[in-house]
Amino acid sequence: MMKRRNTRHRAFDPDPDAPDRCCDMHGCDQPAGYRAPRSRDALNKYFWFCLEHVREYNSRWDYYRGMSPGQIEAHIRADASWDRPSWKLGQGSAARAFSEDDVIDPLDLLKGAAKARARSRTRRQQDEDRRADAPPALRYPLGVLDLGWPVSMEELKTRYKLLARQHHPDANGGDRKAEERFKGINIAYTTVRAHLVATSGREDVARSA
C-alpha cells in the first residue's frame, strides 16, 4: 500500500525560499536556511542565517530598542487599532447616533416609532413656522417650550407641566444640565404667561369699552 507523502514542513525545517548561500553570520559557512528581519524599520528585508545563528540573533532581538517609554506606548496604541486613526467616544465619523429612520421596516416591527417621530418633526416644523408670527420677544421662550403661536393659556400650562416633570432636577438625579434646562423652562413659561395675561386684560378692556 502506497503511503501519502507528508508535504508539511516540520518546525525548524529550513525555509523553502531560502537563497542558496552561506549564513550571513561572519565566519559561518553553514547553509542559510532561516531568515530574520534586519531592523525595526525594515521588517521585509532579511538576514539569512543557519539554525544556530538565527536562534542567537532572535534571542538578542528587541523590537523596541532605542525607543523612549512614550514612543513605545504610542506604538502599542497604534498597533491596537491596526495603525488606523481613532477618536474619543462621541467624536469622529462614528459619532452620529443610530436612527431608526435609517431602517427599512416594511413589517412595522418598530411599531410605528419612525412614523411617530416623523409626525413629531412635522409638528415641530409647523410650530416653528407659526412662531414666526409671534411677537419678537416671545419667539425664543416659545421655542424653549416647543410651542407655536398663537397659544392659549391652557396649552401653555399643559406644556409647562409636561416639561417640568421631565426636566425637574429631582427626576434627573440632581443633574446640573437638567437643572439649567428647568430654570430656562420656568423663565420661558413666566414670560409667555405674562404676555397672555396682559393681552387678555387689554382685550377685556377693549370689549367693555
178-198 residue pLDDT tens: 888 899 999 999 999 999 998
Domain ranges of the chain: 13-83, 119-208
Pull the grid cell for residue 170: 429631582
Whether omega for the bond prior to residue 31 falls within 30 degrees of 0, making it cis, is: no
Cβ-count burial of 29 within 10 angstroms (0-12 exposed, 13-18 middle, 19+ buried)? exposed
Give dist(CA 143, CA 184) in Å, integer.
Answer: 11
Buried b / exposed e across 125-137, counting CB within 10 Å, b at 16+? eebeeebeebeee
pLDDT of residue 85: 61
Give dist(CA 58, CA 4) in Å, integer.
Answer: 35
Q: Would the pTM of this model clear 0.85, i.e. be above it?
A: no
Q: What counts of helices (H) and strands (E) characterise the chain?
A: 6, 2
Q: Which fold has domain 119-208?
A: Helix Hairpins (1.10.287)
How far apart, in Å, do the first and last CA atoms of the chain sit? 122
16-56 residue pLDDT tens: 888 889 999 999 999 998 999 988 888 888 999 999 999 99
CB-side neighbour CA atoms (13 Å) of 43: 3
76-125 residue pLDDT tens: 777 766 656 665 655 555 555 556 555 666 666 666 666 666 666 776 67
